[in-house]
């Protein structure tokens, strides 16, 4: 294909060294921010009564700004990333990427569910500890069939602009119907109605972007202006995200402090639900620290813990925001900048992963449902356990990447096996905490997924055909990045576009 072999220029030591300090400085700042946030929250709890809402409102302000900044990036990032990634890949590679991604998402989510089920069946948290749990809040119910149909319906939003701020939601109202005019007999039937609910329909936007990206790729030369537009747009957004990342530690500190103050009677909650909490945490730990790293190691043959360390900024943000979607900009930044995942893979995998791949949520849904069964002395047979594992996987796919979304979709799992839906209120008190932990594992699963797809679809890094069309062989990735960053050695854009068409 006429690739040029290049002799690598010497890497500028000072640049790499200062880059190392900058990256680690941010990671340190994030960890310190979490610690200060917890400390500040604990300290202020002593002095602020729970009804001092105005003070808490002020305290949350810097954190709210961070949430807004991150959320502001989601839409432009999802649009431009997916379109530009697909438009610059050939159809074969996109197809392979899609297949590998689906296999990875489905298998890891199922593994997470199985880990959760094994743990909850062996620890039996519902039978241990307090038999009289406090209830909190009110459950939200969801009909499993409506929820499934809404999931599919939302893939095709009727209005793309409306999809940016609302989703389609089916609600059913029980209504009486008279059977005949002669008698007063009537029957009661649900009347389903498709309405709208607030929240971005990211799934719809992803589906639209995937199709548009593929079509642009197929258009060849005629699609080139659009490819350039979306590539440049996505680059600009990624640069904006870099700015937000410097503000993140400050915002995270206040988000965490406010959450610590808002906790109602944490000692009681933590003791009452201790076994349940420990079961979920143990499951998340096994999945996040053993299973996912092992899969990554087997496929990629690289140090998974170094990969995880490089994701710390995203994991801390997930912990602070409890939202995979809000963390998305930082996840992409860490994958590209720290783990050097190919930008086309990052742009494709990160937004889709943040929306549909939720290992932590699936594990938690399975544990929570079986916990509720144990608490009610309901014995589940093998068939019901299998239904729980399948519906937990589906419910996690359906859950949005926003705080406590898993709690709503869990009613699907409960309904499927006939468990009392209102018992969700038993575990609500601790959900804010578990939500943060499972969101971090969700983000970790997405990240390892990108690493694995990068390796399986684009091949070993040491033998990679960079998208600038130059074959680089037998060199370490860091060197290739240094090479890419070195302006003096950039190939001209003409050969780049020619190579892309050839791909």
Q: Whole-angstrom Cα distance, residue 336 to residue 346?
A: 7
With respect to ligand ASP, which residue has the nearer C-beta, 206 or 399?
Answer: 399
Q: Whole-angstrom Cα distance, residue 353 to residue 124?
A: 31
SS (H, E, C) 328-351: HHHHHHHHHHHCCCCHHHHHHHHH
Q: Which of 139, 435, 454, 499 contacts ligand ASP by CB under 6 A?
A: 435
Does 399 contact ligand ASP by CB under 6 A?
yes
Cβ-based neighbour number of residue 171 at 10 Å: 14
Which two tokens mark 309? 């360390």
With respect to ligand ASP, which residue has the nearer C-beta, 227 or 408?
Answer: 408
Q: Whole-angstrom Cα distance, residue 396 to residue 365?
A: 8
With CB atoms as reference, the residue minimizing the distance to ligand ASP is 406
- Closest separation in Å from C-beta 363 to ligand ASP: 10
Do the beta carbons of residue 70 and residue 326 sit within 8 Å? yes
With respect to ligand ASP, which residue has the nearer C-beta, 89 or 396?
Answer: 396
Does 405 contact ligand ASP by CB under 6 A?
yes
Q: Which of 63, 251, 293, 403 contacts ligand ASP by CB under 6 A?
A: 403
Residues 6+ apart with CB under 8 A from 410: 365, 368, 369, 395, 424
- Closest separation in Å from C-beta 441 to ligand ASP: 9
With respect to ligand ASP, which residue has the nearer C-beta, 401 or 449?
Answer: 401
Q: Whole-angstrom Cα distance, residue 215 to residue 280?
A: 43
- Closest separation in Å from C-beta 483 to ligand ASP: 36
With respect to ligand ASP, which residue has the nearer C-beta, 335 or 402?
Answer: 402
With respect to ligand ASP, which residue has the nearer C-beta, 404 or 485?
Answer: 404
With respect to ligand ASP, which residue has the nearer C-beta, 157 or 403?
Answer: 403
Q: Which of 142, 402, 444, 450 contacts ligand ASP by CB under 6 A?
A: 402
SS (H, E, C) 290-322: HHHHHHHHHHHCCCHHHHHHHCHHHHHHHHHHC
Q: Whole-angstrom Cα distance, residue 107 to residue 102?
A: 8
Do the beta carbons of residue 176 and residue 207 sit within 8 Å? no
- Closest separation in Å from C-beta 423 to ligand ASP: 18
Binding mask 293-332 for ligand ASP (x = CB under 6 A): -----------------------------xxx--------
With respect to ligand ASP, which residue has the nearer C-beta, 279 or 324?
Answer: 324
With respect to ligand ASP, which residue has the nearer C-beta, 153 or 436?
Answer: 436
Q: How many residues bind ligand ASP (CB under 6 A)?
A: 16
Does 438 contact ligand ASP by CB under 6 A?
yes
Binding mask 339-378 for ligand ASP (x = CB under 6 A): -------------------x--x-----------------
Does 401 contact ligand ASP by CB under 6 A?
yes
Does 139 contact ligand ASP by CB under 6 A?
no
Three-state secondary-structure class, residue 134: coil
Q: Whole-angstrom Cα distance, residue 244 to residue 69?
A: 7
Do the beta carbons of residue 80 and residue 234 sit within 8 Å? yes
Which two tokens mark 175? 């209504």
Q: Whole-angstrom Cα distance, residue 389 to residue 30?
A: 35
DSSP 8-state symbol, 88: T
Question: Assign residue 51 a region: left if phi > 0, alpha if psi is -120 to 50, beta otherwise?
Answer: alpha
Does 404 contact ligand ASP by CB under 6 A?
yes
- Closest separation in Å from C-beta 326 to ligand ASP: 8
Does 442 contact ligand ASP by CB under 6 A?
yes
Residues of this chain that bind ligand ASP (CB under 6 A):
322-324, 358, 361, 399, 401-406, 435, 438-439, 442
């Amino acid at each position: 294909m006429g690739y040029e072999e290049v002799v690598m220029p010497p890497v500028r030591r000072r640049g790499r060294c200062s880059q190392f300090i900058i990256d680690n400085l941010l990671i340190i700042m994030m960890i310190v921010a979490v610690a200060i946030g917890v400390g500040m929250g604990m300290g202020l709890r002593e002095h602020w009564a729970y009804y001092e809402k105005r003070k808490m409102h002020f305290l949350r302000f810097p954190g709210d700004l961070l949430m807004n900044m991150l959320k502001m990036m989601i839409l432009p990032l999802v649009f431009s990333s997916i379109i530009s990634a697909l438009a610059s890949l050939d159809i074969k590679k996109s197809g392979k990427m899609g297949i590998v991604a689906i296999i990875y998402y489905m298998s890891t989510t199922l593994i997470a569910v199985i880990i959760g089920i094994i743990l909850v069946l062996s620890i039996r948290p519902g039978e241990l500890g307090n038999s009289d749990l406090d209830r909190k809040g009110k459950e939200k119910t969801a009909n499993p069939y409506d929820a499934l149909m809404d999931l599919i319906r939302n893939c095709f939003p009727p209005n793309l602009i409306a999809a940016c701020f609302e989703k389609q939601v089916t609600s059913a109202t029980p209504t009486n119907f008279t059977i005949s005019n002669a008698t007063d007999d009537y029957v009661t039937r649900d009347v389903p109605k498709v309405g709208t609910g607030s929240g971005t329909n990211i799934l719809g936007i992803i589906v639209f972007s995937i199709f548009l990206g593929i079509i642009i790729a197929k258009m060849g030369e005629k699609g080139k202006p659009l490819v350039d537009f979306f590539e440049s747009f996505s680059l600009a957004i990624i640069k904006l995200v870099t700015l937000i990342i410097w503000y993140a530690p400050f915002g995270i500190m206040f988000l965490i402090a406010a959450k610590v103050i808002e906790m109602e009677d944490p000692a009681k909650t933590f003791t009452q639900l201790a076994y349940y909490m420990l079961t979920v945490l143990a499951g998340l730990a096994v999945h996040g620290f053993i299973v996912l790293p092992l899969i990554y190691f087997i496929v990629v043959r690289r140090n998974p813990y170094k990969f995880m360390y490089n994701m710390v900024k995203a994991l801390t943000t997930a912990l602070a925001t409890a939202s995979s979607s809000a963390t998305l900009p930082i996840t992409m930044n860490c994958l590209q900048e720290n783990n050097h995942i190919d930008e086309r893979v990052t742009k494709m995998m990160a937004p889709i992963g943040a929306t549909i791949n939720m290992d932590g949520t699936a594990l938690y849904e399975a544990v929570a449902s079986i916990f509720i069964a144990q608490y009610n002395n309901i014995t589940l047979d093998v068939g019901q356990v299998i239904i729980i594992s399948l519906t937990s996987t589906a419910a996690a796919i359906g859950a949005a990447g926003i705080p406590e979304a898993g709690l709503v979709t869990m009613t699907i799992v409960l309904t499927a096996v006939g468990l009392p839906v209102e018992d969700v209120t038993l575990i609500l008190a601790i959900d804010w905490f578990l939500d943060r932990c499972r969101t971090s594992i969700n983000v970790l699963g997405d990240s390892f997924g990108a690493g694995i797809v990068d390796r399986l679809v684009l091949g070993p890094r040491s033998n990679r055909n960079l998208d600038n069309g130059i074959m680089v062989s037998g060199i370490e990735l860091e060197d290739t990045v240094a090479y890419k960053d070195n302006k003096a050695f950039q190939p001209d854009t003409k050969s780049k576009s020619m190579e892309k068409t050839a791909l």
